[in-house]
Amino acid sequence: VIVGAEITSIRSPRVKAARQLAKRSFRQRARSFLAEGPQAVREALSTRGAAGAGGAVGPGYGAGGPVVTELFVTGAAWSRYAELAAQAADQGAAVHAVSGEVMAELAQTVTPQGVLAVCRFVDVPLDQLVASAPRLAVLLANVRDPGNAGTVLRTADAAGADGVIFSDASVDPYNGKCVRASAGSLFHLPVVVGTPLRQAAEALARAGVQVLAADGSAGLELDALESDGVLRRPTAWLFGNEAWGLPGDLLAVADQAVAVPIYGRAESLNLAAAAAVCLYASARAHRMPPPGRVPA
Applying CB under 8 A, does 266 fall inside the site for a second copy? Answer: yes
Applying CB under 8 A, which of residues 38, 125, 160, 196 lies at the interface with a second copy?
Answer: 160
Contact window for a second copy (CB under 8 A) among 76-84, 107-115, 151-159, 190-198: 151-159
User: Of 8, 175, 177, which is closest to residue 105 (Cα–Cα)?
Assistant: 8
Applying CB under 8 A, does 57 fall inside the site for a second copy? Answer: no
Applying CB under 8 A, does 67 fall inside the site for a second copy? Answer: no
Sign, Cα dihedral of 161, 66, 112, 102: negative
- The three-class DSSP label of residue 185 is helix
Applying CB under 8 A, does 293 fall inside the site for a second copy? Answer: no
What phi-psi label fits residue 30: left (phi over 0), alpha (psi between -120 and 50 degrees) or beta?
A: alpha
- Residue closer to a second copy (CB basis): 9 or 109: 109
Q: What track of x and - describes contact with a second copy for positions 171 through 200 (by CB under 8 A)?
A: ----------x-xxx--xx-----------
Applying CB under 8 A, does 10 fall inside the site for a second copy? Answer: no
* Diameter over CA atoms, the chain: 69
Applying CB under 8 A, does 225 fall inside the site for a second copy? Answer: no
Applying CB under 8 A, does 204 fall inside the site for a second copy? Answer: no
- Neighbouring-strand partners of residue 167: 195
Task: Give the separation between CA 159 and CA 182, rounded to whole angstroms.
Answer: 13
Binding site for a second copy (CB under 8 A): 39, 151, 154-161, 181, 183-185, 188-189, 223, 260-270, 272-277, 280, 283-284, 287
